[in-house]
Amino acid sequence: MKTFDIHPTDKSLEGAIWQKIDNLNKPKGALGRLEELAAQVCLIQHTLSPSVAHPCHLLLGADHGIEREGVSVSPREVTWQQMLNFTRGGGGVNMFCRQHGFKLRIVDVGVDYDLSSCPGIINRKIDRGTGNFLYEPAMSDDQFNQAIQIGSDLVDDCIGEGCRLLSIGEMGIGNTSPSSIWMCLFGDVPLRECVGAGAGLGSSGIRHKYEVLRRAVENYKCRFGQDGATDVVRCLSYFGGFEMVAAVGAMLRAAERHLVLLIDGFIMTACALAAIRLYPASQDYMIFTHSGDESGHKMMLDIVNAKPLLSLGLRLGEGTGALCAFPIIDSAVRMVNEMNNFQNANITKYF
């Protein structure tokens, strides 16, 4: 696997950052979580004058072999149909990107449909969907490495356009299944507590999904032994989707390049958990934006001690929660850059 040079954020400016925040013309701590966010962005960028200019959103699409086992209420053709819908500006992700000024990149990493001639879709297809991990690894080592590199390269493309803040979304029918398994193996959580409704399964559908995933995990452990769960790269490649592994690569490259990274949704939180297991320091660069309705999401956020900004009941995927949370991060940055301080405002500092 490609290696990344990721270090914890440099804390040498922390005292100066908080001195600046505490001297803004407001009661100390009066802007609450905005102050914490501002300090985090300052530390990520190692500056007293942070920026979230040219925000970019990666929308990564791929299909999953495990979908053939009936683990999703939606058929796999919805993946490519939605990808085309995104190019026409008709998705929730399109609306929120327009609203908040994000550059949207729609990327085919492994959709089971020929989208190569579709304007507006970046073709990075590795294969037409992954293998069925109930019976075989989802991807080969070469495909895994390719997906990591694709995610990394996409981040470099964004940075080349001046991007300072990145969010990531996904489109892949069936991808709550590998996410549930990653949560189970990386978070040491019983699988039953990790499996939810996905796009809308009923109680019998959830039971079937659990049984399929339970058998898949048992087959995996029989093949690699109980210690296989501690091999992060092996777990990623055996169960993951191309869009999910590409997201992990993007997250790690974003941390390496000191971008502010917005994490949204069950699938992207699973990817963030994987990135943190590979490079613990990468979490310093992540802002967890939303706690959704998918079973286990709040528990997975608790595993990494994340405090999500929003709880709107979203379970759309696409990264919509991250986009909805962006104005809060923008307000935090504006606070530290634009608010006057006591001295310049000629106001007596009373604490």
pLDDT tens, residue by residue, 102-144: 999 999 999 999 999 999 999 999 999 999 999 999 999 999 9
pLDDT computed for residue 227 by the predictor:
65
Q: How confident is the model at residue 53 (pLDDT cuts 50, 70, 90)?
A: very high
pLDDT tens, residue by residue, 244-299: 999 999 999 999 999 999 999 999 999 999 999 999 999 999 999 999 877 689 99
Distance CA 64, CA 126 (A): 12
Distance CA 351, CA 340 (A): 17
With a cut of 60, say whether residue 300 has pLDDT above it: yes
More confident residue, 235 or 343: 235
pLDDT computed for residue 203 by the predictor:
85
Q: What is the mean pLDDT of residues 152-157?
A: 98
Q: What is the DSSP letter of 200?
A: T
Q: How confident is the model at residue 225 (pLDDT cuts 50, 70, 90)?
A: confident
Q: Is residue 143 helix, strand or coil?
A: helix
Q: How confident is the model at residue 315 (pLDDT cuts 50, 70, 90)?
A: confident
Q: What is the mean pLDDT of residues 57-68?
A: 97
Q: Catalytic residue at 318? A: yes
Please state the domain extents for the chain.
Answer: 56-326
Q: What is the mean pLDDT of residues 331-341?
A: 96
Mean pLDDT estimate for the chain: 94
Domain 56-326 listed as CATH 3.40.50.10210: yes
Q: How confident is the model at residue 199 (pLDDT cuts 50, 70, 90)?
A: low
Percentage of residues in the chain with pLDDT exceeding 90?
A: 86
Residue type, 164: R
Q: From 117, 41, 29, select the one nearest 80 (Cα to Cα).
A: 117
For the chain, give percent helix, strand, coil, nearest 5: 50, 10, 40
Q: How confident is the model at residue 228 (pLDDT cuts 50, 70, 90)?
A: low
Q: How confident is the model at residue 202 (pLDDT cuts 50, 70, 90)?
A: confident
pLDDT computed for residue 229 by the predictor:
57
pLDDT computed for residue 147 by the predictor:
98
Integer angstrom CA distances of residue 72 from 67, 229, 257, 280: 6, 24, 36, 32
Burial of 337 (0-12, 13-18, 19+ CB in 10 A): middle
* Tokens linked to 251: 């997250």
Q: How confident is the model at residue 226 (pLDDT cuts 50, 70, 90)?
A: low
pLDDT computed for residue 284 by the predictor:
98
pLDDT computed for residue 145 by the predictor:
98
Distance CA 219, CA 225 (A): 10
pLDDT computed for residue 223 by the predictor:
87
- Residue in 77, 170, 318, 338 annotated catalytic: 318
pLDDT computed for residue 144 by the predictor:
98
Percentage of residues in the chain with pLDDT exceeding 70?
A: 97
- pTM of the prediction? 0.95
pLDDT computed for residue 198 by the predictor:
67
pLDDT computed for residue 77 by the predictor:
97
pLDDT computed for residue 140 by the predictor:
97
Residue type, 318: E
SS3 annotation, 280-348: HHHHHHEEECECCCCCCHHHHHHHCCCCCCECCCCCCCCCHHHHHHHHHHHHHHHHHHHCCECCCCCCC
